[in-house]
Amino acid sequence: MSVDSQFVHKMWDEHELSKMVQGGIPFPMVADAAGHIGSAYGVYDPDAGVNVRGRFIIDPDGVIQAMEVLTPPVGRKVEETLRQIRAFQHVRETGGKEVTPSGWEPGKKVLKPGPDLVGRVWEVWNPKDDE
């Protein structure tokens, strides 16, 4: 989503993005011409008249689970977004009984929060094991 119109999105997809992504961009490219939506999400910069790089992961209940906001010169890493989605999906599937420590990837060690774990994370989880 950007402040460009849906017509400009079409041109961008047809003339450039479709050369990088087979078949063009598969998801909707939303137009936020006046920045109303960006304002609601706190990512519209009225001085520049554009939305900055904001990324929100929204769960199936419509709740924001993660957000990342960058100034324009630095791009994002899609793999990290996917990793976070997989982690949030795992937590959701286990009803919050399992949580995912730093750098977690599917298949790696999860933690089960509870009184027994307090002060003993070091016994059950070593970030170096994942390297």
Partner 1 sequence: MAEQESIGCGRPTGSVVGERPKEKEDVETTHKEAAVSTIMVGRKAPDFVAPAYHQGGFKQVKLSDFLGSWVVLCFYPGDFTFV
Binding residues for partner 1 (CB under 8 A): 1-13, 16, 24-34, 36-43, 48, 50-67, 72, 75-76, 81, 85, 88-89
Kindly tell me which of 38 and 100 has the beta carbon lying closer to partner 1.
38
- Nearer residue to partner 1 within complex by CB, 101 or 109: 101
Q: In angstroms, what is the minimal distance from the CB of 28 to partner 1?
A: 4
- CA 89 centroid distance within chain: 13
The three-state secondary structure class of 83 is helix
Output 72 or 127, the one with its CB closest to partner 1.
72
**Structural contact between residues 111 and 89, judged by C-beta atoms closer than 8 angstroms:** no
Q: How far is the CB of 125 from partner 1 (least distance, A)?
A: 23
Cα(4)–Cα(82) distance, rounded to whole angstroms? 26
- Rounded to a whole number of angstroms, the minimum distance from the CB of residue 117 to partner 1 is 22
Which residues neighbour 46 within 8 Å (Cβ) at sequence distance 6 or greater? 35
**Backbone φ, ψ for residue 6 (5° rounding):** -65, -25
Neighbour tally for 41: CB within 10 Å = 16
Which of residues 64 and 124 has its CB atom nearest to partner 1 in the complex? 64
**Least gap, CB of 5 to partner 1 (angstroms):** 6
- The residue whose two tokens read 């059950």 is 124
